[in-house]
Structure 1
Amino acid sequence: MTVTYEACYTVKPMEPTKCGRVPLSEWDQIGTITHVPTIYFYRLSQNFHLFPNNTIASNLKDSLSRVLVPFYPLAGRLRWISNGRLELDCNAMGVQFVEAQSSSSLEDLGDFSPSSEHHYLFPKVDYTLPIHELPLVLAQLTKFKCGGISISMTISHAVADGPSALHFTREWARLARGETLEKVPFLDWKVFRAGEPPSVPLTKCHVHTEFNHPPLLLGQTNNSEERKKKTTVAILKLSKFQVETLRKTANESWNRPRNGRAYSRYESVTGHVWRSACKARGHKEEQPTAVGICVDSRSRMEPPLPKEYFGNATLDVIASSLAGDLMSKPLGYASSRIREAIERVNDEYVRSGVEFLKNQEDLSRFQDLYAVGSEKGPFYGNPNLGVVSWLTLPIYGVDFGWGKEVYMGPGTHDFDGDSLLLPGPDGDDGSLLLALCLQVVHMDAFKKHFYEDIE
């Protein structure tokens, strides 16, 4: 795919905004602190082809400038302070907006499955620069020869989790199509005691073993070799019938959860993904393995946080098992391990986790910097997985003024074990998509087990 970059702009808030350095919460400073990419593809109606070529770009830049007023933290910059800790400098330096042209058409992209060629459709984040020079948001408008377009974004995970990033994107789209802001972001990091010292010493903190690094392959002392192995990406579809079959199997094959609530789609499908990966990777029975799970704590706090809380309230928890147990026991066993991990996230868990992290001398070991070439931080590749759920997020129907997208999905990702569950593109038909990255040598076997093991 040939993509020509035509222009690059810095877009700043249209009006003066609050300035100054503000502390981030501990949850903002652990896990992935690099940028997370997403992309939307659109087929424009004939009416839009009658307008000058720069009309779409001008409208996007103008609405972006306006949405950065209420979402002013995204126009700022991160700064390292000490001991692997970050703060947010709200300085209105702005975000990056790129215009590009592609010689391809949307039809050339097939089913839009992530490919290495799609890297050109995303704005490049230059991680060789100091962190205080990196925009927190980079967006790219790419026009295709067929008249279609794509809008891609990379948003810093240190300032926005999935719900927050999507909130920003949907409000930007509302302003672009001429409507008013619907929901103002809730910008108070103090709910997680951001910037405050620990209130109890580490000796009296709950031990949060989930912050430890996930297991290594048996016989290995580090994961450096696994990080280097070539990976590939696939998007696998599960029909509504297949999803319901997996959920029925999970609930009928193992003890009913204590609270009587049946295993969810996520717990059932993720358990199936975990088991399939163990089989595809050829794990020994005694191999420890973990799956990383993202849980939104907003509704689990007491009192609940506003849904519009802007920052990181989606926390990573770990479900673990021996591979032999996962492969020999019914699907419901895997789902039960996942349920136990999710149910740990309550108000006490969140607040004690904040206290535990505040007592750490250095946060570096809790940060995933793999995207910038570091071999430090958690690694959810072989023998582990990370399965993020977008199943309950309103990811579809983002209309910038020319209709809804024909495809929305994650950016290209090439980290072994990185996966994402999305609702099927047909909306309410009950199907799901699994966007999965695995080592090349394991992908074919994974696909075989993934589909053949659905009873």
Structure 2
Amino acid sequence: MAVEKGKTTEEKPGVAVKVTGKSRVLPCKKEERRPTCQLVTFDLPYITFYYNQKVLVYKHGGDFGEAVGKLKEGLSAALEEFYPLAGRLGKDEEGVLVVKCGEEEEGWVGVDVVEAVAEEVEVAELAADEVPELLQQIVPLTGVMNLEGLHRPLLAVQFTKLKDGFAIGCAFNHAILDGNSTWHFMSSWAEICRTGCESTSISLKPIHDRTKARNTRVKLELPKSASEHEDSDPTKGHSIPLRERVFTFSEASIDKIKSDANAGRPEGAKPFSAFQSLGSHIWKAVCRARGLKPEDVTVFAIFMDCRKRVDPPMDDSYFGNLIQAVFTGTASGLVQAHPLGFGAGLLQGVIDAHDAKAIDARSKEWEAAPKLFHFKDAGVNCVAVGSSPRFPVYEVDFGFGRPERVRSGSNNKFDGMVYLYRGREGGRSVDVEITLEPLPMENLEKDEEFLKV
């Protein structure tokens, strides 16, 4: 294991979270150099997103220091295969953004690791349906834009000892990888820790050549700083506090929603999927909760995995970003007045239309006039869905058992942002993590049509 050690003690403000140690974890064979990884059109738009934060909470009664040692050793081994996460973001000689993987004199950046204790905090507090503010103290790099990856590690991890367990908080630079690759890495890291296997023996090795998906070299004009880009957002200064909450839908509930959405479908018509049906259910409820007028426009955005849609298709092991956002919109009154099949039909239409030809056209459009993202670009009165119940989030077992709860941090959350996770109870159950303004959230919590399916 290659770890650069440094110890410190530091209390985080506001809560009893005390940082007890900091270190830098490098690939175990840090002397080896790896090829530069060019960022492509599917990566670059996310440079002005924020670090993608994930928190996994575990019950654990064993020795915390011993567990952390095992996790760091496994992380060092995992970085052998997932080496871009230990690299440095920069530009090549032509000004194209790349990840430099130890080939320069300064070598690897590595992964920042923080060790902390929150002795009075129980697992149940972090696993509650209402997302606690405390969560921001459990995961690193809150409020840090991916652009800062030019000067920071591309992955930071915090291990926090709790009263009856521990939490693993990870912050991934979203310009380097999407959700599919995030959980590919997490599953592989856990596999190494749980089985003691070598990194070369993991179940699914990552594919690092992003030019297989698209080989257009784009010279992106970057803002001088993250604050410069934030200041260019016309909505800055008009934000109000947001609430985050998890609503769990059982397998039976998902089946009922899907059945309701498909009721009355013409014979031979393509059925609506569980995702399209649940999306329509959420969209309808959020429009009600916001008290939108019938004529108010509302937009539904989906961050779609394009691995199987590009030509040629890419394997699930493609490591990087291979997602695009697709949008559909209509009048709020239509969403609310019609059965679930109306919204599900809009979602099905925009999903089915986003084939290889559409992906290529969208990519060419962006390459001709690259645009840096602001949250307002998600659309007016929006519901925006990221993550996927396909991701094996509750199978990330480092040898301490399954997580009690998987959560997103506060980064990249805005009014209407939704993350979908596979439910812990398994099957087709789904955890719906929603961010809304306080009054609409209060209305949603009381909405029997939304809650009692």
**Quick check: 2:416–2:436 contact (8 Å CA) kept in 1?**
yes
Q: CA deviation at 1:172?
A: 0.9
Report SS of the residue matched to 2:288: helix
**Quick check: 1:126–1:134 contact (8 Å CA) kept in 2?**
no
* Paired residues for 1:401-420 under 5 Å: 401-412=399-410, 414-420=413-419
**Quick check: 2:123–2:162 contact (8 Å CA) kept in 1?**
no
Q: CA deviation at 1:107?
A: 4.8
Partner Cα separation in structure 2 for residue 143 and residue 289 of structure 1: 43
> 1:9 matched to which residue of 2?
23
Q: CA deviation at 1:326?
A: 0.8
**Quick check: 1:245–1:454 contact (8 Å CA) kept in 2?**
no
Partner Cα separation in structure 2 for residue 155 and residue 130 of structure 1: 12
> 2:6 matched to which residue of 1?
none
**Quick check: 1:266–1:389 contact (8 Å CA) kept in 2?**
no
Q: CA deviation at 1:43?
A: 1.6
Partner Cα separation in structure 2 for residue 442 and residue 25 of structure 1: 38
Q: CA deviation at 1:19?
A: 4.5
Partner Cα separation in structure 1 for residue 174 and residue 159 of structure 2: 21
- Residues 317-357 of structure 1, C-alpha deviation per residue, up to 9 Å, x if partnerless? 11211112111122101000111111122221222222222
2:179 aligned with 1:187: no
Counterpart of 2:84 (choices 73, 82, 85) is: 73
Counterpart of 1:38 (choices 54, 70, 74) is: 54
Partner Cα separation in structure 2 for residue 123 and residue 310 of structure 1: 22
> 1:302 matched to which residue of 2?
311
> 1:59 matched to which residue of 2?
70
- Residues 372-426 of structure 1, C-alpha deviation per residue, up to 9 Å, x if partnerless? xxxxx6245x611112242111111211122222222222455211111222211
2:150 aligned with 1:142: no
Counterpart of 1:155 (choices 165, 168, 172) is: 172
> 1:313 matched to which residue of 2?
322
- The one-letter code sitting in structure 2 at the alignment partner of 1:12 is L
Report SS of the residue matched to 1:68: helix
Q: CA deviation at 1:150?
A: 1.1
* Paired residues for 1:87-236 under 5 Å: 87-91=98-102, 92-107=108-123, 109=125, 111-113=127-129, 114-124=131-141, 127=144, 130-146=148-164, 148-177=165-194, 178-180=196-198, 181-196=202-217, 223-224=235-236, 228-236=239-247
Gaps of 5+ in 2: 1-14, 103-107, 220-232
- The one-letter code sitting in structure 2 at the alignment partner of 1:140 is Q
- The one-letter code sitting in structure 1 at the alignment partner of 2:333 is G
- Residues 136-175 of structure 1, C-alpha deviation per residue, up to 9 Å, x if partnerless? 11111111233x1111111111111111011111111111
**Quick check: 2:113–2:158 contact (8 Å CA) kept in 1?**
yes
Q: CA deviation at 1:298?
A: 1.2
Distance 1:171 1:111, change over 3 A: closer
**Quick check: 2:265–2:271 contact (8 Å CA) kept in 1?**
no
**Quick check: 1:388–1:421 contact (8 Å CA) kept in 2?**
yes
**Quick check: 2:38–2:96 contact (8 Å CA) kept in 1?**
no
Q: CA deviation at 1:93?
A: 1.0
Q: Percent identity?
A: 25
**Quick check: 1:253–1:331 contact (8 Å CA) kept in 2?**
no
Give the paired residue count: 412
- The one-letter code sitting in structure 1 at the alignment partner of 2:45 is I
**Quick check: 1:186–1:308 contact (8 Å CA) kept in 2?**
yes
> 1:434 matched to which residue of 2?
432
**Quick check: 2:262–2:341 contact (8 Å CA) kept in 1?**
yes
- The one-letter code sitting in structure 2 at the alignment partner of 1:447 is E
CA RMSD between the two structures: 2.8
- The one-letter code sitting in structure 2 at the alignment partner of 1:349 is A
Distance 1:343 1:442, change over 3 A: same
Counterpart of 1:25 (choices 40, 43, 57) is: 40
Partner Cα separation in structure 2 for residue 82 and residue 290 of structure 1: 41
Distance 1:85 1:378, change over 3 A: farther
TM-score after normalising by structure 2? 0.83
**Quick check: 1:192–1:351 contact (8 Å CA) kept in 2?**
no
Distance 1:452 1:127, change over 3 A: closer
Gaps of 5+ in 1: 199-220, 371-376
Report SS of the residue matched to 1:337: helix
